[in-house]
Amino acid sequence: MTTATETGPGAPDAGASATGSVRRPRGARRRPDWGKYFTWTVLCWLFAPIAFMVVFSFNDIAGRHNVTWEGFTLRWYSDAFAYPDLNVALLNTVTIAVLTMLIAGFLGTLLGLALGRYRFLGQSATNLVMFSAISAPEVVLGASLLSMFLTMNLAVGYWTILIAHVMFSVSFVAITVRARVLTMDPSVEEAARDLGATPLTTFRLVTLPLLVPAITSGGLIAFALSVDDFIITSFVSGSTQTFPLWIWGSTRVGIPPQVNVMGTLIFGLGVLLAVANTVLARRRSR
Partner 1 sequence: MATATEEPRTRHDAGARAGTPAISLEQISKAYRSGGEDVQAVRGIDLRIEQGEFFSLLGPSGCGKTTTMRMVAGFESPTSGTVRLHGDDVTGVAPHRRDVNMVFQSYALFPHMTVFDNVAFGLRRKREASGEIRRKVAEALELVELNGRERTKPGRLSGGQQQRVALARALVNRPSALLLDEPLGALDLKLRQAMQMELKRIQRDVGITFVYVTHDQGEALTMSDRIAVMNGGRVEQLGTPAEVYERPATRFTAGFIGTSNLLSGTVAGRSGEVATVRIEGAGEVRASCDAPAGARVDLTVRPEKIAMEAEEPAGDRARLAGTVTEVVYLGSATHYTVRLGDGSEVVVFRQNASDAASAAERGETVWVSWRPEHAYALPG
Contact set with partner 1 (CB under 8 A): 185, 187-188, 190-198, 201, 205-206, 209-210, 284-286
Q: For residue 260, what are the contacts with CB-CB under 8 A and spacing of at least 6?
A: 53, 54, 56, 57, 59, 66, 76
Q: Determine the Cα–Cα distance for residues 197 and 162; give it in Å rounded to an integer.
A: 38
- Judged by CB, which is closer to partner 1: 6, or 185? 185
Backbone angles phi, psi at 48, to 5 degrees: -55, -50
> Residue 33 in 3-state DSSP?
coil
Q: Which is nearer to partner 1, 36 or 117 (CB)?
A: 117
Nearer to partner 1, 167 or 212 (CB): 212
DSSP conformational letter for 240: -
Supply the minimum distance, in Å, between the C-beta of residue 88 and partner 1.
42
Least distance between partner 1 and beta carbon 188 (Å): 5
Q: Which of 220, 181, 186 is nearest to 100 (CA)?
A: 220
- Rounded to a whole number of angstroms, the minimum distance from the CB of residue 193 to partner 1 is 4
Polymer length of the chain? 286
Taking the least distance from each CB to partner 1, the nearer of 209 and 268 is: 209
**CB of 187 vs partner 1, minimal distance in Å:** 4
Q: Are 120 and 182 in contact (CB under 8 A)?
A: no
- Nearest residue (CB) to partner 1, 166 versus 206: 206
d(CA 231, CA 228): 10
Q: Please state the closest distance from residue 181 (CB atom) to partner 1, in A.
A: 15
Q: What is the DSSP string of 87-101?
A: HHHHHHHHHHHHHHH
Q: Which is nearer to partner 1, 60 or 194 (CB)?
A: 194
CB of 156 to partner 1, least distance (A): 44
Report whether 86 contacts 94 (CB < 8 A).
no
Residue 58 makes CB contacts below 8 A (sequence gap 6+) with 72, 73, 74, 76
